[in-house]
Structure 1
């Protein structure tokens, strides 16, 4: 089915249509689930179906299933079930967390016990075994404790997204390539979407924003509704120069929670990122790749020196222009949970945003069931309540934004959350 390029191609504006804005991994998973149900008129909109302009395009892809939030653990487990069914979509390489202090080691003991209670395989392993799993990344002599999650892995976000999009198309979903630049909101309804190709009527449609880092700016035209504290933040990531692929099993994804650092084997190069810096609120342009910030050079240099055995292979730009770094913008919220579900004060609006690849398929499946009016299981209902996009009702946006920014540095650390009342 050809991609539509004009509003006229969309057809009858009076149709009971489901419109999904954003064709990253979340939007495509939503379209796939809804189209598979037999819903006849699903319209997926994105500014480009050839390029991955959002966070999907640069996500490191690690799927760590355990989280101190049981809601996120459940979403990750559901997502892995989906990814495992997609050819080339998921590779089980394991996830490894390392501690270099006594306090950090105590935290590993706790996380191991809690992961097992949540039904996620986890084991404390020796420093020697940990180093043997990723010998070029890990400094064996620094390790006080190592926690291994053998069923974790890497999702190829681009492969998964393409699979979901093509599945949706085969089941009747249509694709409109257009840049949604704003909307008309009146009397509790999203009446129109303003695009670079003209206006699309949505009075009879259910409209879902799977728009990631652009969500806050797109919803600025909606007044009198509850705050949507989805804050885009800058994040540095760096690569080594390309190299021949290592023989044998790829390295597990490695995290150093005490230093807010993580690294992975990309096959033909290694990559690493750090959250150990002042949080930077950064509004994206046409891509979720922001301008490189000079201060990030020292952030990654310190991170590699503290944690990585092959630190010298990173930041070799002067020696090898193939070693690169970039600023990958992504979204944070005040409680590190997605905003996903029906928006209370807008009759035809849904959110499915601030969702990581780790939780994308599970979140999309949950929201698609809600959109279609299907009954939720008890577990799904509990997660749905936790992700309710109206949960910040009555709160001050400025305070919410500050809370969200404060969560950035703990992305890969403890994220214990209160249960919803």
Structure 2
């Protein structure tokens, strides 16, 4: 009988694979797809308790790694007459979740992020313990062995599929459970690095966000009709950063107009990136837009856990990767030892179970995922949380 090369092989080179515990049992695999992880924003407030818990654990894990977490904080900026109601509701949720927060005036918010907060803002709420996770640092520290599947074939007793938007390519059963969506994003021209990076800012009414990447500002928007990227299309993608789609032009223009005029001006002359230009534009000083691709599940939670005997998934974890992979690692170690996984995390394993949508029809799964994209920050669930307080 042939002995497998490895106990566990992790297929994928993103932040989820990188945050697997460093040991001889868990091994990141260099798949034939290009790694796509950038620094992820981590916001701990969420109306879904599972995501709040995973974010808490992720922040704790990232903070323990040297240079693994930038504690820049998160601003939620409001505008218009309904802004005060939003802040009041978020304060109630933050208190219930025991998250540190403070309500700011427009001027106070501008003092933290002058490049992001326009004079027409009516206030903000600030979460000082949020920040950005440095995915490259996590990948370097998490790596023990590398297998390049295009060069050779290796065997493993257990496999973790952590390939993000390519999940359906390797595991067809996940195709309708991990639905890929196109998402527009743009970079401004470069600026001199600031002494302290600004908090990332979210604008709930406009469903857009903006953040400081160190030497340039980035902006993204969900304020558009959802665009599903089919499995057949993801098969030919070498990376999750793809050319800008013209249908998002007005979406990005509207988002940029919400920024202070001096900041909006740094996006002037924005180039809509084409395939041959992405690498050149990323290295240059010209403002440019591109289309990112990421996954959403029917209930907005990651797919993390056992698919079948010896096969596991870690899909859609994103900024919750560290917390999610701790849950998965405990499950895998328990399986290897023939023991029960920690009882305290049973509620998380049930919520993240990759098989939880069976036998929901594929078309129904996709429909729910589309609804989740439309409500990306779970505003509808906020009313339920507030009603229960």
Normalising by structure 2, report the TM-score: 0.86
> 2:330·2:341 contact (CA, 8 Å) conserved in 1?
yes
Is 1:96 the equivalent of 2:43?
no
Candidates 14, 17, 25, aligned match of 2:15: 25
Helix, strand or coil: the match of 1:241? Answer: coil
Q: Which residue of 1 aligns with 2:325?
A: 364
Alignment of 1:122-201 (within 5 A): 122-140=101-119, 142-165=120-143, 169=144, 174-178=145-149, 196-197=150-151, 199-201=153-155
Q: Which residue of 2 aligns with 1:114?
A: 93
> 2:14·2:37 contact (CA, 8 Å) conserved in 1?
yes
CA distance in 1, matches of 2:176, 2:17: 18
CA distance in 2, matches of 1:333, 1:143: 33
Is 1:271 the equivalent of 2:252?
no
Q: Which residue of 1 aligns with 2:279?
A: none
CA distance in 1, matches of 2:260, 2:135: 25
Cα distance, 1:100–1:398 mapped onto 2, change above 3 Å = same
CA distance in 2, matches of 1:154, 1:14: 38
Helix, strand or coil: the match of 1:255? Answer: strand
CA distance in 2, matches of 1:415, 1:54: 33
Q: CA deviation at 1:211?
A: 1.1
CA distance in 2, matches of 1:43, 1:134: 40
Cα distance, 1:363–1:289 mapped onto 2, change above 3 Å = same
Q: CA deviation at 1:379?
A: 4.7
Q: CA deviation at 1:232?
A: 1.1
CA distance in 2, matches of 1:377, 1:201: 28
Q: Which residue of 2 aligns with 1:353?
A: 315
Q: Which residue of 2 aligns with 1:9?
A: none
> 1:238·1:315 contact (CA, 8 Å) conserved in 2?
no
Q: CA deviation at 1:107?
A: 2.1
Q: Which residue of 1 aligns with 2:286?
A: 322
Q: Which residue of 1 aligns with 2:274?
A: none
> 2:187·2:288 contact (CA, 8 Å) conserved in 1?
yes
Q: CA deviation at 1:321?
A: 5.5
CA distance in 2, matches of 1:347, 1:378: 20
Count of residue pairs the alignment pairs up: 362
Candidates 331, 342, 354, aligned match of 1:389: 354
Alignment of 1:60-79 (within 5 A): 61-79=40-58
Q: Which residue of 1 aligns with 2:200?
A: 253
Q: Could you say what the CA RMSD is over the residues aligned between the two structures, in angstroms?
A: 2.5
Helix, strand or coil: the match of 2:37? Answer: helix
> 1:232·1:281 contact (CA, 8 Å) conserved in 2?
yes
Structure 2, unaligned runs of 5 or more: 272-283
Cα distance, 1:402–1:54 mapped onto 2, change above 3 Å = farther
CA distance in 1, matches of 2:219, 2:373: 16
> 2:5·2:155 contact (CA, 8 Å) conserved in 1?
no
Is 1:56 the equivalent of 2:17?
no
Cα distance, 1:308–1:364 mapped onto 2, change above 3 Å = farther
Q: CA deviation at 1:96?
A: 0.3
TM-superposition CA deviations, 1:81-136 (whole Å, max 9, x none): 11111111111111000111333431221112211221210121111101111112
CA distance in 2, matches of 1:161, 1:270: 24
Normalising by structure 1, report the TM-score: 0.80
> 1:332·1:407 contact (CA, 8 Å) conserved in 2?
yes
Helix, strand or coil: the match of 1:175? Answer: coil
Cα distance, 1:88–1:398 mapped onto 2, change above 3 Å = same
Helix, strand or coil: the match of 1:144? Answer: strand
Cα distance, 1:294–1:41 mapped onto 2, change above 3 Å = same
Candidates 345, 349, 358, aligned match of 1:380: 345
Q: CA deviation at 1:213?
A: 0.7
Q: CA deviation at 1:250?
A: 1.7
> 1:55·1:330 contact (CA, 8 Å) conserved in 2?
no
CA distance in 2, matches of 1:65, 1:325: 28
Structure 1, unaligned runs of 5 or more: 1-11, 179-195
Q: CA deviation at 1:364?
A: 0.4
CA distance in 1, matches of 2:153, 2:148: 13
> 1:257·1:413 contact (CA, 8 Å) conserved in 2?
no
CA distance in 2, matches of 1:305, 1:376: 50
